[in-house]
């Protein structure tokens, strides 16, 4: 496992700068394979959604809208074209209606293996 540190000896830099440098090193290790945005988009379970609007407020891509369902109430829906899979809506959903199929243990392990398999220069 690789640990990314950005603490050059003999140079005084702030913790914030160290953190940004370490993040840049980690980002360089992310696999360069094409990302399929559509497969990373969030899905919203209409049976669990209570249309609180929290997801609408936190989505930086304006990918979520409220639509009227067959019962006349409103539910949130995520546009798979606009959704980038950032997960902001997942983190604020009080009923766990917003979720992604890529949050399971198998997917996380596969992503970690891909990261560790790449060489960082």
Q: What is the pLDDT of residues 23-66, one digit of tens each?
A: 776 666 665 554 444 457 888 999 999 999 999 999 999 999 99
Q: Residue 49 class from Cβ within 10 Å (0-12 exposed, 13-18 middle, 19+ buried)? A: buried
Distance CA 73, CA 113 (A): 44
The set of long-range contacts for 100-108, using a CB threshold of 8 Å and a minimum separation of 24, is 100/40, 100/41, 100/42, 100/43, 101/43, 102/39, 102/40
Token couple for 98: 């917003």
* 97 confidence band (pLDDT: 50, 70, 90): very high
Residue 110 has which token pair?
A: 């596969």
Verdict on whether the full-model pTM lies above 0.85: no
77 pLDDT more than 90 = yes
Q: What are phi and psi of 65, to 5 degrees?
A: -140, 160
Return left, alpha or beta for 36; rule: phi > 0 is left, psi -120 to 50 is alpha, else beta. Answer: beta
Contacts of range 68-75, beta carbons closer than 8 Å, 24 or more positions apart: 75/44, 75/46, 75/49, 75/51
**Which architecture does CATH list for 35-117?**
2-Layer Sandwich (3.30)
């Amino acid at each position: 496992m690789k640990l990314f540190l950005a603490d050059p000896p003999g140079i005084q830099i702030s913790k914030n700068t160290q953190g940004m440098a370490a993040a840049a090193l980690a980002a360089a290790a992310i696999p360069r394979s094409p990302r399929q945005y559509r497969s990373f988009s969030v899905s919203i379970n209409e049976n669990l959604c209570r249309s609180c609007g929290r997801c609408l407020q936190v989505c930086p891509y304006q990918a979520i809208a409220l639509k009227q369902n067959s019962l006349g109430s409103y539910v949130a829906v995520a546009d798979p074209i606009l959704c980038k899979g950032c997960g902001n809506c997942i983190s604020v959903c009080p009923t766990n209606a917003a979720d992604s199929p890529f949050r399971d243990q198998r997917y996380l392990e596969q992503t970690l293996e891909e990261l560790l398999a790449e060489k960082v220069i």
